[in-house]
A and B are shown apart, each in its own frame.
Chain A
Amino acid sequence: MFKKIENTLITLSKVHEFIMQFFRELLIPPYEFKEFVRQCYEIGVKSLPLISLTGFIIGIVFTNQSRPSLEDFGATSMLPSAIAIAIVRALAPLVTALIASGKVGSNIGAELGSMRVTEQIDAMEVSGINPFKYLVVTRVLACTLMIPVLSCYTGFVGLIGSGLNVYQHEQVSFISFFDQVFNTISFLDINQALVKAAIFGFTIGVVGCYQGYNSMKGTEGVGKAANAAVVLSMFLIFIEEQLVVMVVQSIRG
């Protein structure tokens, strides 16, 4: 029991050190700009198909499910507003981050894990290249940037799905649907969603890189790293979601 607590604390302090190293290396040149761009592209391409599909389906299903309860109050005209709030504030960042944990997080964990196991990371180090800067800093940064971008996209696709559904049932045109959507969501909503998505992205990047970079020897180490990256980042995203909601609610007053 004590051993377990001790191990958890040791891991926490190692992760803390890892994050500190990220910020230190982030600021010191040279910058690996090309690799950063390549990672952004990879993250985008990897997640796009799944995110498009999920976003669209969630828009439709969520609209369908919300309709009956609004009908009870005779308030189906509120449907676009209700959905806009749900999608922009909560669903888009959360769904994007959860999908990215599965796709991007596990990918980073496996990639860096196999580089660690096959001594590619050591090979960089002995030839005077800073592997942390080249591999970790670029990936964490790319995740932190791309998850907000992808969240915007998920939100947009979700709203299109929802708008389509509303058009079918309530004969509300796309234009007036989006009119109502944009009247409902505030600047704070979008900002908090972006900040949240950036925090999620940072989490996915750090967890994936940490697991892969410190992967154990042997091929089973790679699988473990990938798996642990997914489970841990999903868990952390869930906690962060709760924290952000608490903070935003206190801002709203």
Chain B
Amino acid sequence: MTLLDFARGPALQWSLIILVAGIVWRVLGAILLSTRKDLSTPRRKSGLKDGMGTIASRSLPASAFEKRIRFQHITGYAWHLALFVTVLFFGPHILFFESILGFGWPNLPNGVVLFAGAIALAILIALLIRRATNPVQKLISNADDYISVIIVMLPLLTGIIAFAHIGARYETLLAIHLLSIEAMFIWFPFGKLMHTAMTFPSRFQAGTSFGRRGIKA
């Protein structure tokens, strides 16, 4: 079995199994935990509106801090947008998803995707340097933060290298790229990358429980 066959076959299969099992485990575990009955009398009926409202309000910078967190805000949005374009709209990526999900969608020109990938990588490197040098960030960062950033950075880096055919044979570069993604799949449920699945449900939950207590947030 070649390295590429391993990356496309058993490594992909097992990393996906760990990814799916891990996500279901953590999401379900969190949902089942939060069902304790609240015995207090609600201030008002809360529901969808509060939940969605908090998702929206937390997605914008809080006005009190706006000036101080503008950098994180802009880079955060730019990074996620660039990542989505790179991951979801590169032709070969869509074929990869199609082999897992059973359906595909139209792709963007490679030039656009490459540009987005380079932007995403550059932002991530900048954020990593900032995390490692800014005294406050340094203080609040743990190993999970660094691992999560680096494990997302590697697929971007190896992807660009594979696209440009630099340094080794294409089949080796492609295999390394796939293996780096599979490493991310395995890490995903156990670290901060889980925010992908948790962010919006937890904002929604916070919104409804604040609503119940009559807080607008």
Tell whether A and B belong to one assembly. Answer: no
